[in-house]
Homo-oligomer: A and B are copies of this chain.
Amino acid sequence: MRIGELSRRTGVAVPTIKYYVREGLLPAGRLTSPNQADYDDSHIRRLRLIRGLMDVGGLSVSVVREVLAAVDAPEEPVHKVLGAAQEAITPPTVGEPDGLDEARRAVAEFIRRRGWRVDPGHVSAEALAVALATFRGIGHGAFEEVLDDYAVACERIAAADLAYVGRQVDVDSLVESVVVGTVLGDAVLSAMRRLAHVDGSARQYEG
């Protein structure tokens, strides 16, 4: 198909598609003549993935580029893909909050306590430390008391995620499901957590 049809079938404007190609998010179409190119279903799928990562996952163009590079890396083991995806989507810390070192120690202790096989210097551990330090900085240090409840929940979620990923048959789907599950799974989880808040709040304060 040509670019007009690709645009119609995905709802993405033609200049935007061209922009994504320039930015390296979307492979160019196969040229059939100097100014005609052919796009196929893989382009439709890729475009939908791009818009999903941006609109639902809130990723920027440059982060989407990195994430897709991880998706396209041929035959990387799951552990590598997961690491690359996490590195890509974790935004660099903006302003170091006070008490970050103490929070880092709390996170290291937390990881040890749970017996998790994670390097305490991992980007996601650092992200957790930044969040905890921020809690403390605004006078909500006691939030740390719920960490273990969160951890139990996360263990269950991670098990479900890994089971879902493991169910994929071909390698491409598997790798993509790691990335998609990581990014869009966050959106699902936070939306669902909010629904559970509403439910709990209704039970506790209304009925």
Majority DSSP secondary structure for residues of A touching B:
helix
On whether the beta carbons of B200 and A124 are closer than 8 Å, the reply is no
What residues on B are CB-neighbors of A143 within 8 Å? 164, 180-181, 184-185, 188
Known: A52-B97, A156-B153, A177-B140. A191 touches B146 (CB 8 A): no
Contact code string A138-169 (vs B, CB < 8 Å = 1, else 0):
11101101110111111111111111101100
On whether the beta carbons of A140 and B187 are closer than 8 Å, the reply is no
Which single member of B58, B137, B196 contacts A157 (CB below 8 Å)?
B196
Known: A134-B184, A150-B157, A196-B157. A58 touches B55 (CB 8 A): no
On whether the beta carbons of B79 and A199 are closer than 8 Å, the reply is no
Tell me, rounded to whole Å, the shortest Cβ–Cβ distance linking A75 to chain B: 14
A118-B198, A153-B154 known, 13 other contacts, Cβ within 8 Å: A48-B134, A54-B94, A83-B198, A132-B188, A135-B184, A138-B176, A139-B173, A143-B185, A143-B188, A146-B160, A151-B196, A155-B200, A162-B201
